[in-house]
Amino acid sequence: MHQTGQIYRPPSEASVQRLEVTIGCSHNKCSFCTMYRKTPFRVAPLEDVEMDLKELHDRGEKITRIYLTNGDPFVLGTDRLVKIAELVHQYLPEVEVLTCYASIQNLKAKSLEDLKLLKSVGYDELYVGLETAYAPAVKLINKGFTVEEAYENIGKLKEAGMKYSALLMLGIGGKGHSKESVEATAALLNKYPPYRVSPLSTAVLRGSELEELCDKGEYVQLTERELVEEEKMLLRALKINDCIFFGSHPYNLITISGVLPQDREEIIKHLDSEMAAWDRDQP
């Protein structure tokens, strides 16, 4: 199996078979991210993709789900993605879902008809790196889209019948902006409900542009307690049914998960309990 450079995938896909179709990230300019800075973006040859699928077929395992790597495979053109799906179904006919990271930029480049076609050949449950819908923060982190474009393209994704998982960054609005950040983000998610919300605490990585902004005082990090309080705000602001709330990313100090709305109060109670334990542990 081909594996080039760093491989990142959501925790929920840890046990899912992966298939390399791109290397690196096509945008690779987000101010908070250093994951692919040393990995130039390129497209994996179809010959390599087919070779890997042959290998998986020869193993004889039952595979029903494929996770495409790397940074944002949905940047590939519709024809290319359809060809990859055809190869997958040729060698692994039991595969039901093809999933991957997808950016708002990736969605912008595809028409509604493109998305409906991709849905029909198995693409679904995409991981969309929204991070936030708070306009100042979207600009700060250089995601390459506007809030208006996020609304337009997530709406298009939903109209095509695709499910999506919303990847969010707690605290990315900066100190003192939790309320407006949560309100803006929840408004988008409530309008176009994801099947999963995955918040992670913002970490300022060494060598990132966000670190430089911190040094200049243009971005001020939230404390651990403020991050948890923001997560509680988000939980209360989301008005979505049958939505998985996956707050168990390794960056989160308190790991929690459940289904909204039924587990909302239990999750908040657990967060409060853990924060109370922090106070008891203080000398």
- What angle in degrees, to the nearest 10, is found between the helix axes of 178-191 and 147-159? 30
Residue 241 has what pLDDT?
97
283 pLDDT tier (thresholds 50, 70, 90): very low
Structure-block tokens of residue 212 = 């430089």
| φ and ψ at residue 26, rounded to 5 degrees | -70, -25
Calculate the average pLDDT of the chain. Answer: 95
Task: Name the residue type at position 95.
Answer: V
64: left (phi over 0), alpha (psi -120 to 50) or beta: alpha
Q: What is the pLDDT of residues 83-93, one digit of tens each?
A: 999 999 999 99
Give this prediction's pTM.
0.95
User: Using an 8 Å Cβ cutoff, are 201 and 256 in contact?
Assistant: no
| φ and ψ at residue 18, rounded to 5 degrees | -105, 155
- Reported in sequence order, the residue ranges of the chain that DSSP labels E, i.e. its strands, are 17-20, 22-23, 42-43, 65-69, 97-99, 101-102, 126-131, 164-170, 196-201, 243-247, 256-260
Candidates 1, 50, 43, 10; CA nearest to 164 is 10
Residue 282 has what pLDDT?
55
Q: What is the pLDDT of residues 117-148, one digit of tens each?
A: 999 999 999 999 999 999 999 999 999 999 99
For a pLDDT cut of 90, what percent of the chain falls above it? Answer: 92
Distance, in Å, from the CA atom of 12 to the CA atom of 132, rounded to the nearest integer, reads 21
Residue 256 has what pLDDT?
95
Work out whether strand 196-201 and strand 22-23 pair parallel, antiparallel, or are unpaired: unpaired
Q: What is the pLDDT of residues 164-200, one digit of tens each?
A: 999 999 999 999 999 999 999 999 999 999 999 999 9
% helix, strand, coil for the chain, step of 5: 40, 15, 40
Work out whether strand 196-201 and strand 243-247 pair parallel, antiparallel, or are unpaired: parallel
Distance, in Å, from the CA atom of 94 to the CA atom of 9, rounded to the nearest integer, reads 22
Q: What is the dihedral of CA 210, 213, 219, 221, to 10 degrees?
A: 50
